Chains A and B, each alone.
Chain A
Amino acid sequence: MDYPAILLIVAACAYVAGMAGALLLRRVGRLALSVGFGLAAVGGACGFLSGVTSLATGQAAARGAVTFWSGPAPNLRLVIQADPLSCFFVTIVSMLGAAIAIYSLGYSGAYLGRKSVGLLAALYNALLLATTLTFVAGNVWVFLIAWEMMALLAYGLVTFEHEDRETRGAAVFYFIMSHIDAVCVMLGFLVLFQAAGDFSFDGLRGVGAKLSSGQRDTAFLLFVVGFGIKAGLVPLHVWLPVAHPVAPSNVSALMSGVLIKTGIYGIARVCFEFLGGPPLWWGALLLALGTVSAVLGVLYALMEHDLKRLLAYHSIENIGIIVMGLGASLMFVSTGHPVLAALALAAALYHTINHASFKGLLFLGAGSVLHATHTRNMEEMGGLVKRMPQTAMLFLLGAVAISALPPLNGFVSEWLTYQALLQGFGSTDSLLRLMFPVGGAMLALTGALAAACFVKAFGISFLAQPRSQAAERAREVPASMRLGMALLAIACLFLGLFPTVFLGWLGPVMNQLTGEALAGRLSLAGGWVLAAPGANAGSVSTAAMTLFGLSFLLVPLFLRRMLGRRAKTVRGPTWDCGLQGLTPRMEYSATGFSKPLRMIFKALFRPHREVQREYEFSPYFARSLRFESHVEEVFEERIYRPTRFWILRVSRRVRALQQGSLQVYLLYIFLTLLGLLLWAV
């Protein structure tokens, strides 16, 4: 057995120990917290090492499935399989799991004495275990059990602060949606089982060839709905901005960073490995869904002034970008361009780990702000950069990364996506090829809107003067919380500055799914330059950009020495148009910042505004003012509300069947039996 595999087992044991320890010690809150999250951090570190070394040494590619327990029937076995795709996702969950666990050592301290921290730590360990198991499952049984465990444990964590009515409602909504997705995934696997007669992933490989095209399309759509709900693809996303913000911030980070990625894992596993040989429209559908998710996600994020809801909407945007890559990759598979397929897939997977690192970082940052100010409302923050400078710098780094700005990691993966989309234009003669550049333009729109959104998120929350007493009294968070964030910031920097190293590790995964490892083709100049495949197709080097950018600063420095030797720097008040000093009420608010975009996209947002003003002499000197403004959530209002209405209406009718009398129920059973017998004949 290889060392990475042993490390993975150690990680699983650490999670189990953490879970048991936290539960046993739950009466001693502080001890339970240290043991639970400490062991989770150890487990995460082991899992991370295991994943990275498996990929870097190529051991994962040679590894087969391992049966741990031969159950009563051939299909009821406990089969674990850590192939490259699994190892890649294990790396993500472990990296984030470890960083968040360290962060939680400080963050969860706030619950001591109020809530059972032991329970939180135990659930957290269990969730990490279940998620890891989902990724290394070797047959459908293990996968579905882990999938369901993951959904239930996440429900338990979302509802952790259940005293709040909003939290309970959100948790139930999440519960329902995750069961709809489980049903779709199960049905999808049943369709595959009909042809394969085997539930192991090995047996399902390439099963698509044995299915009729109708069955294949049905299976594909079932999986897209099932995994799409998990991932938060528009229009299946509505649960996400409701459920993620109400969970404790460390859990939100894990949910946004990893749990929604299980949907991406599912799509990649099923579409590339099991269904195989996709028709062109599958990829086109995914590309379209991804594009719509990306644009709508960021547009709704712009309208939010709840910091955590804003981040949750950005998860929808980023999932959209990932799915765009997956869709483009599927389209290239069906048109027979393995190199482009590998490129698009690399972009999607690169963005997957990027999103985990910067979204984890940002959610932890939001958690720190919440910890310090006790509010999620950006309009009550401000001036935090002076009160919590390190948190602010880490949040800024995450903001630059998520806005796809060079030299950080978001830029690299979007660069790869653009390259795939651009080269895709020549890949087919179908009219569908216009989707590539239009998708690229929408990606540009998404990127620019994301930048606008994070100027707002960082600028309004951290800069200028504090807008409330809570913000004024904010203090820097404990060192463990900053360390957790710093680890993820390092990941962002590494992935941004050394893309060719990481793409080398990704090689086995691309090889597994598309038959093309690609890694060597993407690197130039000894790995310092990232190049698109194809002769002179374009190249980029974030590391060189950083070095040159820093050296350019010598120009103003030199001029200052030459010209400005006598220039002084003085502190003065901001220009206030001759008033008696600026107050925070005069600053631009988050709502005001996004107003131009709200007006431009008013066909989508349908903004509603209500102003009530009381005055005596002139409307300019109001005595009191009430202002209310909100935007309509189209999917919630137009799709989900009517559906809910009809479901309730139908169930009220169906309730007539429920008589409460045993005889009537026996009659039902008899009639059903009769019906089934008739059908069988």
Chain B
Amino acid sequence: MNIDITSLIAQTALVLLLSPLLSGLIASLKAKLQNRRGPRVWQPFFDLIKFFRKDMVISEHASGVFAAVPHVVFATALMAGLMVPLAWVPAPLQLFGGALALVGLLALGRFFLALGGLDPGSAFGGMGSSREMTISAIAEPAMMLAIFTAAIAGGSTNLSQIVMAGDGHAGRFLEPAHTLAFSAMFIVLLAETGRVPVDNPATHLELTMIHEAMILEYSGRYLAMLEWAASMKQLVLFGLLANLFFPFGLAPGMLPAAVAQGMGWLAIKLVGLAVAVVLVEFTNAKLRLFRVPDLLGAAFVLATLALVSLFLFR
């Protein structure tokens, strides 16, 4: 087995440190647009440190499952982060899983998160779990189809392979299959990261929250792990979207100069996507729960059209 140890350690550090920064960046950009001063971009780091220092309160009704949840969610999110190429190719754990494993890992995290919502026996937790599982169930086919489109075009389900196959084909961005799949994936991204038209990450309003409802009973270091994992998942999906559909600027290997350049490109792509997400959040109101399927249905249709166009134009 040839695992590049440098690449492994570097990307682990990158995922762990960049993900809170991305969350901070989005929160700060959003505040600026709303004419607030808002938190600094480093704020999530301070939050994580604070949570690790705090005491934990665990519900009397909760079982061992409650304690297992943050561990599973954290490990799966970090693992997913090591399968996606971010600033260089190949991704360190590319041999151990590609697009399908990534979807599976995120689903495993979600499965346990939903159980963690049910375990303390609070109605909020159950509500959050139910909604999370519903939304992810209708988002998953659209996501899979969009990934399929990229995988068929790249001839592999290995994300690093898809990215490498796409590198150097600048004209691909204008192909209809590519554009349509990107649009579908963008909608899925909004749903999966709990962004505004679907869920509101800033809310603790009881009846509209989804993700926050599931983790309501968590505190202290478990909460830190869950928040961190949510940030990592967000980074994974941003990175997936950025590199699957804009496959350029990644460093081919671990040479310092190339890696620095790759990090630069990664920063540009992530900021670009973050601005897009913030603009969507800024210009839209949260949808009613039963309107969300329409949005995700649109994503599914877009992804299907992407596939059909792949069929027509080849």
Contacts and interface: CB of A to CB of B under 8 A. Distances in A.
B49 to A, nearest CB: 6
B53 interface: yes
B185 to A, nearest CB: 13
B79 A545 contact: yes
Contacts of A599: 290
B293 A600 contact: yes
B289 A596 contact: yes
Contact of B1 (A385, A438, A459, A528): A528
A444 B123 contact: no
Nearest to A445: B141
Contacts of A385: 63-65
A569 interface: yes
Contacts of B140: 444-445, 447-448
B128 to A, nearest CB: 9
A455 B133 contact: yes
A499 to B, nearest CB: 13
Contacts of B79: 545, 548-549, 552
A539 B293 contact: no
B60 A573 contact: yes
A592 B124 CA distance: 12
B100 A582 contact: no
A434 B304 CA distance: 10
A406 B98 CA distance: 12
Task: Specify the main secondary structure of chain B where it touches its partner.
Answer: helix
Interface in A549-586: 549-550, 552-553, 555-556, 559-560, 562-564, 566-576, 582, 584, 586
Contacts of A556: 70-71, 74, 221, 224-225
A537 B157 contact: yes
A164 B53 CA distance: 59
Interface in B289-306: 289-290, 293, 300, 303-304
Contacts of B123: 586-588
B217 A560 contact: no
Contacts of B125: 588
A588 B221 contact: no
Given A545-B79, A588-B129, A559 B52 contact: yes
Interface in B128-187: 129-131, 133-134, 136-145, 148-149, 151-152, 155-158, 161
Contact of B104 (A411, A460, A544): A411
A572 B134 contact: no
Given A548-B93, A572-B58, A444 B157 contact: no
B97 A540 contact: yes
Interface residues of B, number: 91
Nearest to A403: B111
Interface in B218-253: 220-221, 224-225
A570 B95 contact: no
Place the interface of chain A in its size category. 35 or more
Given A564-B221, A588-B130, A582 B71 contact: no
Task: Specify the main secondary structure of chain A where it touches its partner.
Answer: helix
A442 B307 CA distance: 14
A372 interface: no
B254 interface: no
Given A539-B96, A599-B290, A459 B129 contact: yes
B127 interface: yes
A549 B68 CA distance: 13
Interface string B254-283: 000000000000000000000000000000
A65 interface: no
Interface stretch (A34-42, A269-277, A415-423, A611-619): A415-423
Nearest to A421: B148
Contact of A576 (B65, B78, B122, B134): B122
Contacts of B217: 574-575
Given A433-B311, A459-B129, A451 B56 contact: no
Contacts of A571: 57-60
B122 A563 contact: no
A196 interface: no
B121 A587 contact: yes
B17 to A, nearest CB: 11
A536 B158 contact: yes
Interface stretch (B20-28, B31-39, B112-120): B112-120
Given A442-B141, A459-B115, A566-B53, A437 B307 contact: yes
Interface in A381-426: 383, 385-386, 389, 396, 400, 403-406, 411, 415, 418-419, 422, 425-426
Given A385-B65, A567-B56, A422 B216 contact: no
B55 A568 contact: yes
B60 A574 contact: yes
B56 A588 contact: no
Contact of B115 (A458, A525, A552, A569): A458
A599 B134 CA distance: 11
Interface string A463-487: 1110000000000000000000000
Nearest to B310: A425
A538 B161 CA distance: 8
A110 B276 CA distance: 63
Nearest to B140: A448
Contacts of A595: 130
Contacts of B96: 529, 539-541, 544-545, 548
B9 interface: no
B209 interface: no
A594 interface: yes
B103 interface: yes
B16 interface: yes
A452 interface: yes
B75 interface: yes
B76 interface: yes
Given A560-B52, A568-B55, A455 B101 contact: no
A524 interface: yes
A445 B49 contact: no
A175 interface: no
Contact of B156 (A438, A537, A552, A575): A537
A449 interface: yes
A441 interface: yes
A575 B219 CA distance: 12
A319 B99 CA distance: 25
A179 B161 CA distance: 52
Contacts of A458: 115
A67 to B, nearest CB: 47
Contact of B105 (A406, A437, A465, A562): A406
Given A441-B145, A444-B103, A567-B53, A455 B118 contact: yes
B101 A406 contact: yes
Contacts of A570: 55-58
A380 B96 CA distance: 42
A600 B55 contact: no
Given A567-B55, A582-B122, A600-B138, A465 B61 contact: yes
Nearest to A454: B111
B126 A440 contact: no
B111 A455 contact: yes
Interface of A: 383, 385-386, 389, 396, 400, 403-406, 411, 415, 418-419, 422, 425-426, 431, 433-434, 437-438, 440-445, 447-449, 451-452, 454-456, 458-460, 463-465, 524-526, 528-529, 532, 534, 536-541, 544-545, 548-550, 552-553, 555-556, 559-560, 562-564, 566-576, 582, 584, 586-588, 592-597, 599-600
20 contacts: A389-B63, A405-B104, A422-B151, A434-B307, A448-B141, A449-B137, A463-B63, A463-B65, A464-B61, A464-B119, A465-B61, A529-B1, A541-B96, A541-B97, A555-B78, A563-B49, A563-B52, A564-B220, A567-B55, A569-B56
The 9 closest A-B pairs by CB, nearest first: A588-B126, A538-B157, A464-B121, A459-B118, A444-B144, A452-B133, A448-B140, A448-B137, A549-B75
Given A451-B110, A464-B120, A566-B53, 10 more contacts: A438-B145, A445-B140, A455-B114, A464-B118, A524-B95, A526-B1, A529-B1, A538-B99, A555-B74, A588-B118
